[in-house]
Structure 1
Amino acid sequence: MRYTASHKLETRQKLLESSSVSAKKEGFCTVGVDGLMKAIGLSGGAFYSHFSSKDELFSSIVERELCQSLERLSGNGELSRARLERCLKHYLSMAHVEHPESGCALPALGAEIARSDIAVRQQAEQWICRLQESWARILGSDSLAWAILSQCIGALVVARMLVNPEVQRSVLKSSYEEIGRQIAGQHAE
């Protein structure tokens, strides 16, 4: 039985969404094609009618996730200082630590992106640079935007590595407060 183009597109979107959640929660390399397809109720053989390889799926996940992160964290170019501070507070939260599947892909997939082929890394670089540029416009500093972006991702990675919720909260709170000092110091100059 032949499926319509819209059915194929819907299946591809379901596969992307399900695979993104799985990748951010458990790591992309840990799940095989059969497992990814089973999660959406299809056989492993159907995978290749949507993607030529698992690497192509990963590239699509990176693009999808980083595009969504850019939208959430930069506000499509309508970012204000107050909105940036709200985004940072949400980003550096226990909810984000505890639910990687619904958050930013960078802390969850950063190491896998770094080990990917150059095409995936270049794609990720484009999205990350767009986010940094958005923050730099608000902050008035390229270097501060890079520092805050790096600190946010690093704080989340460290908090997720830890077991004790109080220590996790301390990492997040310390990072949020330090970022606040950096932003305040930028305006004092």
Structure 2
Amino acid sequence: MRYSVSHKQQTRDKLLQSSAALAKKEGFASVGVDGLMKAIGLSGGAFYSHFSSKDALFSAIVERELSQSLERLGEGEQQSRERLERCLKIYLSMAHVEQVQDGCALPSMGADIARADIAVRQQAQAWICRLQANWARTLESDSLAWAILSQCVGALVVARMLVDPQIQARVISSSYEVLSQSITRQ
């Protein structure tokens, strides 16, 4: 039976969404094609009608996740320091620590991206640089934008490595406090 173009696109979108959530939660390398397809109720063989390889899927996940992050953080809008601070409050929250599959791809998939081929790394670099440039315009400081971006990602990585929720919360709240002060003082 032939499927419509829209059905194929819907299946591809569902595969991207499900695969991104699994990759962020379990690591992209740890999930096989059969597991990715099983998560959306299809056989492993159907995968290749959507992507030429698992690497092609990973590239599409990186593109999707980082473009969504950029959109959420207000690229293209005239962003205020207050809006940036609100974004940081949401980003540096225990909900973001606990809901890995729903959060930013950088803290959860950064190591996978670093080990990916050069094309994926260049793609990630382009999105990260766009985010940093947006923040730099808002903050009127290139270096502060890099520092905040790095601190946000690092704080989530450290918090997720820890077991004790109270210590996790201290990492997140301390990072937010210092970054918030940096934004308002600047």
TM-score, normalisation: structure 2 = 0.97
State how many pairs are aligned.
Answer: 186
Question: 2:73 is paired with a residue of what secondary structure?
Answer: helix
Contact 2:75 2:131 in 1 (8 A): no
Partner of 1:38: 38
Q: 1:31-110 to 2 correspondence within 5 Å?
A: 31-110=31-110
Partner of 1:176: 176
Distance 2:126 2:154 in 1: 19
Partner of 1:134: 134
After superposition, the C-alpha distances for 1:59-82 in whole angstroms (9 at most, x for unaligned) are: 000000000000112354232211
Contact 1:70 1:76 in 2 (8 A): no
Paired residue type of 2:106: L
Distance 2:31 2:152 in 1: 27
Distance 1:132 1:77 in 2: 14
Q: Which runs of 5+ in 2 are unaligned?
A: none
Question: 1:79 is paired with a residue of what secondary structure?
Answer: coil
Question: 2:3 is paired with a residue of what secondary structure?
Answer: coil
Following superposition, the deviation at residue 148 of structure 1 comes to 0.2
Following superposition, the deviation at residue 23 of structure 1 comes to 0.7
Contact 2:24 2:101 in 1 (8 A): yes
Distance 2:114 2:8 in 1: 31
Distance 2:13 2:74 in 1: 24
Partner of 2:29: 29
Contact 2:139 2:145 in 1 (8 A): yes
Following superposition, the deviation at residue 177 of structure 1 comes to 1.2
Question: 2:147 is paired with a residue of what secondary structure?
Answer: helix
Partner of 2:120: 120
**CA RMSD, Structure 1 to Structure 2 (Å):** 0.9
Contact 2:19 2:36 in 1 (8 A): yes
Partner of 1:11: 11
Contact 1:155 1:175 in 2 (8 A): yes
Distance 1:79 1:17 in 2: 28
Paired residue type of 1:129: C
Contact 1:33 1:47 in 2 (8 A): yes
After superposition, the C-alpha distances for 1:72-119 in whole angstroms (9 at most, x for unaligned) are: 123542322111101101101000000011111100100000000000
